[in-house]
Amino acid sequence: MTRFAVISFPGSNCDDDCVRVVNEVVGETGYKVRHDERTLDRADVVLLPGGFSFGDYLRCGAIARFSPIMDAVRAFAAAGGPVLGICNGFQILTEAGLLPGVLRRNVGLSFICEDTFVRVEGRQTAFTNGLEPGSVLKLPIAHNEGNYFADDETLNRLEGEGQVVFRYCTERGETGLPGRPAAPNGAARDIAGVSNVRGNIVGLMPHPERCCEPLLGGVHGRQLFDAVLRTIAGDGGPL
């Protein structure tokens, strides 16, 4: 069984959802690891879930990155272990310097909860291993700070290195339509998710764990979990 450690910070609120999906839908072992612990308990995969860690006071993820468990997460990632940050988890990874860029307030300044479409692109990462480049996934977002930002030089470099792994798009996979930004939150170049150079750390704003069952209106999120299982099994991928 592949072991998924789900990091639980004070204020994380999608930790139970991630554990549940791993255990009951994907059929592997999911368990929570508290922010104040120091080891990941034999994790094969680390998930940083969504929520409002430490209330998102100060700046999203800015306090969580100092949690004792983050040393273990850094070490795990440095050894090439697959780490996925979802929503607040993505924000924490950028604050921790494990992923480039920052997440700013949504343009329009309001929280947005709705289904979005994202296009799979960039390099093969631990969580997109085996996904068809250019394929379109329907994944829901729920955030107030998902407006991805980095300077042009960084954005060019990310695109050049294939580190932009998910881009908001239309249902048919289009981006850059005149007068119609695909990103609902104002994200630079419609970026919904990025990876590190090595491809073992991925962060994205949409919530794959919310769409792994037909009952909840979508199953595309399952593809990220299946991808990392392929990666762990050594079936292609970056590791």
Which residues carry out catalysis? Answer: 87, 207
* Window contacting another protein (CB under 8 A); options: 55-63, 66-74, 170-178, 185-193: 55-63
Closest among 201, 237, 214 to 101, alpha carbons compared: 201
135 DSSP 8-state letter:
-
Cα gap 195→14, rounded to integer Å:
21
Going from the C-alpha of 177 to that of each of 152, 199, 219, the distances in angstroms are 20, 29, 27
Decide if 94 contacts 118 (C-beta within 8 A). no
Closest among 133, 117, 115, 116 to 125, alpha carbons compared: 133
Residue choice 167, 210, 220, 222 for contact with another protein (CB under 8 A): 210
The 3-state secondary structure of 172-197 reads CCCCCECCECCCCCCCHHHEEEEECC
Residue choice 209, 222, 229, 232 for contact with another protein (CB under 8 A): 209
* Window contacting another protein (CB under 8 A); options: 52-60, 89-97, 123-131, 145-153: 52-60
Which CB sits closer to another protein, 144 or 154?
144
Residue choice 7, 22, 47, 51 for contact with another protein (CB under 8 A): 51
Would you state the structure tokens that stand for residue 107, as one six-digit string?
């343009």
Is residue 57 involved in binding another protein (CB under 8 A)?
A: yes
Which residue's entry shows tokens 């290195």?
161
121 to 160: interface string for another protein, x by CB under 8 A: -------------------x-x-x----------------
Which CB sits closer to another protein, 14 or 40?
14
Is residue 173 involved in binding another protein (CB under 8 A)?
A: no
Q: List interacting residues with another protein (CB under 8 A).
A: 10-11, 13-14, 16-17, 20-21, 50-52, 54-57, 110-114, 140, 142, 144, 207, 209-210, 213-217
